[in-house]
Structure 1
Amino acid sequence: MIKPVIGIPMGDPAGIGPEIIVKALANDEIYKVCKPLVIGDAGVIEKAARICGIQTGVKTVSGVDVIDSDNRTINVVDLNIINPDSLEYGKVQEENGRASFEYIKKSVELAMEGKLSAIATTPINKPSLKAAGIEFIGHTEILAGLTDTKDPLTMFEVRGMRVFFLTRHVSLRKACDMVTKERLLDYVERCTQALQSLGITGGTMAVAGLNPHSGDNGLFGLEECENIIPAIQEAKMRGFNVEGPVGPDSVFHLALTGRYNSVLSLYHDQGHIATKTLDFERTIAITLGLPFLRTSVDHGTAYDIAGKGIAGEISMTEAILLAAKYSHPYSQWVKRTD
């Protein structure tokens, strides 16, 4: 079996991205399932390896056909943007924001050319992006913009539990206003297709309630009665295997035990709190609907510990392994739907 090539854009050079990359790529398990390829600055990766006390070689490569597939060598597409000798860790800097954007841009180019099977991203820093004049809010928006993708889906996976998000980076007040019948129907359909793109065809999706006890027949809010229940009823009529609204205090536990194949969370923190409380380090974000699969660590640049060699790599390792796991079914699904 041909191993997938997983692209790893280096993230913000002043953050922990380079360190968690070199630590993760010292793990034999990664090389059993894929060929990792870092897109960034070779000098910064070499410096991170020294800081972390990891004995590894760093090989600058021009293409995927010359990748060394063992954990004694880190393969890097070297964009040569940041001087490692003058790199200042833990600071918002224009040049680092620009560099992190260029790493992502190059990764997208390689993926669109079919040279990468998937992308596993590392943290970027929003203030650094802004300082560099990059108008995108974050990774998902950058990837959507570079691939001309409208409203890609975010799914979290942790210990087999999968969580989609009806709304993401908006205020709680606006999120409540966005819980409409039309939007819910659209997301049930798109989330079902997203699961299929990962090879998941069985099971039932649960829609989380918005209010305590899912509104309790209008006692604690009317959103369930007016929008959520009608949307689920119509989705069932259209043939979608969906249930709800399921009380938000129990739906994630039920999904974890296998009753549901996924949960549609109605706002950002509803799903984030559930997944990260379960296992913060192994909660992995997956972006679906792009022309390629993207996984990501679900933590930030951790400026307070950057450059100290103490950042944990578990999330990075899981993101790479999950990218390898789903890359083949996703790529086949993209080909079928083109």
Structure 2
Amino acid sequence: MTNRHVMARKPVIFSTLGDAGGIGPEIVARSLGHPDATNGVRRLIVGPLHVFETGCQIAGVNAQLPAFTDIDEALASDSSLAFLEYNPSGLSEPETGIASAASGVCDLDVARLGADLSVQGRVDGFVFAPVNKLSLKLGGSRFEGYKAYIAEHLGVKASSAEINTIGHLWTTRVTSHVSISDVPKLVTKASVLETIRYFDRELRRFGHEDPRIAVSGLNPHNGDGGMFGLEEIDHIGPAVEEARKVCRNVDGPFPPDTVFLTAQREGYLGVVSMYHDQCQIATKLLGFDAGVTYFGGLPFPITTPAHGTAYDIAGKGVASETPMVNALKLMRRAALTAKGLPA
């Protein structure tokens, strides 16, 4: 049976260890105690074997899974859980709790492998444990994060926004990692409209038909008719009206200070905010320990826990695996839905 036939039978999730000096290896190890997170799919954990073994020791996990050094053999295996030893840069035992070029190089190597296998149709989704921006930079990346690096590697030019979910609520934003002083000029009818359409499209990827989306304003009290800013009148409101021609269940703009209350009370699935902290503060208050980040705009889906490498607690065995498990569950849903299988 060929790899392609295996893939048609059961989707494969490419799962990484994350930054070797952070909590990634230990939460990956602990996630093995939640087999329901990958029910109906195959999970291939990829990275340096000794880093994974260290993570298992920290987490107190006795991992029993087949390990491979050959990619083709790993993908041909019928095991629902397997490990692929992949360490082309020769990462040695890293120092816990700090960023390093060695960890960054290793993460970038794994990113390229996962991206290549995904576009080849050999794996169906990419779940990465937390990486560190400084490690990636020291390792040679000129981008602020993993997704942008992967996009350049694949030659993908389409823009996309980060999406976060805590299960019952999804969020995205028109602007992200920019100075707050730059936000107003970046909130245009075109940028808001593009974000709404992108959000609607990606929510449907997870089986949500006609998702209800609430769009936030930018200014206090939505600008109070232009007294405190014109973005709602000139850009956000017109973008919502235009979006309704395709996305039937989009409403707004809602005042930023109550949009999440409205979403909770009236059953909106998603909220489009205008800038990073406008949505992230609310999302993390509502479900920090459950949060997952999803990256769209690529030929394949990517998920990751909505937290960082947590160097301050790395190696102490206290990191929660819940966001990692949720990232796997979300990817499982995306992979099964894409193949028309029940999720």
TM-score with structure 1 setting the length:
0.90
8 Å Cα contact 2:38/2:329 also seen in 1: no
Q: Which amino acid aligns with 1:54?
A: V
Pairwise CA distance, 1:159:
2.8
- Which residue is equivalent to 1:164? 172
- Which residue is equivalent to 2:84? 77
Q: Structure 1 residue 249 and structure 2 residue 257: aligned?
A: yes
Taking the aligned partners of 2:57 and 2:268, their CA distance within structure 1 comes to 45
Q: CA 1:172–1:66 in 2, change beyond 3 Å: closer, same or farther? A: same
Q: Which amino acid aligns with 1:140?
A: K
Taking the aligned partners of 1:118 and 1:102, their CA distance within structure 2 comes to 17
Pairwise CA distance, 1:238:
5.9
- Which residue is equivalent to 1:95? 102
Give 3-state SS (helix, strand or coil) of 1:57's partner: coil
- Which residue is equivalent to 1:138? 145
**Which of residues 208, 231, 239 is equivalent to 2:216?**
208
- The more displaced of 96-105 and 250-259 is 250-259
Pairwise CA distance, 1:65:
2.2
- Matches of residues 181-192 of structure 1 in structure 2 within 5 Å? 181-192=189-200
Query: What per-residue deviation string (whole Å, max 9, x for no partner) do you get for residues 70-127 of structure 1?
Result: xxxx622211357786321112211111001111111111211212121111111111
Query: What per-residue deviation string (whole Å, max 9, x for no partner) do you get for residues 139-184 of structure 1?
Result: 2212221232221232111131111211111111112211011211
**Which of residues 27, 35, 42 is equivalent to 1:35?**
42
Taking the aligned partners of 2:261 and 2:12, their CA distance within structure 1 comes to 34
8 Å Cα contact 2:47/2:110 also seen in 1: yes
Query: What per-residue deviation string (whole Å, max 9, x for no partner) do you get for residues 30-83 of structure 1?
Result: 2434321111111111121112211113532232221532xxxx6222113577
Pairwise CA distance, 1:211:
1.1
- Matches of residues 105-184 of structure 1 in structure 2 within 5 Å? 105-149=112-156, 150-184=158-192
Give 3-state SS (helix, strand or coil) of 2:39's partner: helix
8 Å Cα contact 2:213/2:268 also seen in 1: yes
TM-score with structure 2 setting the length:
0.89
- Matches of residues 54-65 of structure 1 in structure 2 within 5 Å? 54-61=61-68, 62=71, 63-65=74-76
- Which residue is equivalent to 1:10? 17
8 Å Cα contact 1:293/1:331 also seen in 2: no
| Stretches of structure 2 lacking an aligned partner (at least 5 in a row) | 1-7
Pairwise CA distance, 1:331:
5.9
Give 3-state SS (helix, strand or coil) of 1:281's partner: helix
Q: Which amino acid aligns with 2:262?
A: L
Taking the aligned partners of 2:89 and 2:314, their CA distance within structure 1 comes to 16
Give 3-state SS (helix, strand or coil) of 1:20's partner: helix
- Which residue is equivalent to 1:236? 244
- Which residue is equivalent to 2:55? 48
- The more displaced of 259-268 and 92-101 is 259-268
8 Å Cα contact 2:89/2:105 also seen in 1: no
**Which of residues 317, 322, 327 is equivalent to 1:319?**
327
Q: CA 1:239–1:105 in 2, change beyond 3 Å: closer, same or farther? A: closer
Query: What per-residue deviation string (whole Å, max 9, x for no partner) do you get for residues 249-274 of structure 1?
Result: 22223323453232111111111111
- Which residue is equivalent to 1:335? none
Q: Which amino acid aligns with 1:314?
A: T
8 Å Cα contact 1:164/1:265 also seen in 2: yes
Q: CA 1:295–1:258 in 2, change beyond 3 Å: closer, same or farther? A: farther
| Stretches of structure 1 lacking an aligned partner (at least 5 in a row) | 333-338
Pairwise CA distance, 1:199:
2.3
- The more displaced of 323-332 and 308-317 is 323-332
Count of residue pairs brought into register by the alignment = 328
Taking the aligned partners of 1:113 and 1:238, their CA distance within structure 2 comes to 31
Q: Which amino acid aligns with 1:42?
A: L
